[in-house]
Amino acid sequence: MQTAPAYRAKTTDYDRSAFERMYTALEADVLIASALLDEDEVIPDADRSGRLTVIRTITGHRSALESEPRTLRRTIRLEPVRAPRRLTPRQYEDLSLILARDEQGGGRLVDGRVRAGIASIPPAAVARLFQHGWLVVESGDAVTVSYAGRVAMTLHDHQAGTGYMGTDKWVVDAFGVGEWQIGTGLFLSLCSCGYRSPSRFDDRAMAQGASRRHRLEHLRTAFGLTA
């Protein structure tokens, strides 16, 4: 179940050579966890693609003859094989059951099923979650939600968008005659989680940017990036 590819990775190495490879969900989780532990940059995209970039920066002398240190970077661009937006409501519920038991080690793989407390996810559903790279098996048949799965869940929770509000108002002049005066419309930043930006924007693009920033905050939280 661990062999299905979860990410297509394009690496630009320290010497600027480039190559591509596929990562399983477990391999990607190890890569991301190591990057977070080493305080490398882990940068999720703010859109709904589920893509992310891992950047490792090193500074030092390449040889004893160099007087000045050099800074080199390795960039790995990860693109999900399975689009996160394909996560169904039922799959979201199944992943939520497992994620809720994360502190207890996640679920348990038993005869193709995942047991999460008193709940049980059937083999066919479990197989699809593994095929999409949204689950991983760790030691002792413990099943946890992969980083790819957490991103898919976050994007399911935070389908950001924009709204529109008019600013027309009823104005009464000195003679007591009233009329509606047309005002400039304003755009709102909204999210399916219930979030509404307190700011109002003159331009839709500005509202869209605020919506993406809201979503990005939650994507960063999925990787434990709260600063």
Which pTM value belongs to this model?
A: 0.84
Buried b (16+ CB within 10 A) or exposed e, 34-47: ebbeeebebbbbbe
Buried b (16+ CB within 10 A) or exposed e, 102-114: eeeebbbbeeebb
Dihedral sign of CA atoms 40, 44, 50, 51 in order: negative
- Contact 136/197 with Cβ under 8 angstroms? no
User: For position 101, what pLDDT does the model report?
Assistant: 84
User: For position 176, what pLDDT does the model report?
Assistant: 78
User: For position 168, what pLDDT does the model report?
Assistant: 66
Q: What CA–CA distance (Å, rounded) separates 165 from 125?
A: 43
**Phi, psi (5° rounding) for residue 176?**
80, 10
List, in sequence order, every beta strand (DSSP E) within 30-123. 41-44, 52-60, 70-80, 107-110, 113-116, 119-121
User: For position 63, what pLDDT does the model report?
Assistant: 64
**pLDDT tens across the length of the chain (227 residues):** 566 789 999 999 999 999 999 999 999 999 999 999 999 999 999 999 999 999 999 987 666 667 778 899 999 999 999 999 999 999 999 999 999 887 777 788 888 899 988 889 999 999 999 999 999 998 778 899 999 999 999 999 999 888 877 666 777 777 777 777 776 678 989 899 988 888 888 888 988 889 999 999 999 999 999 76
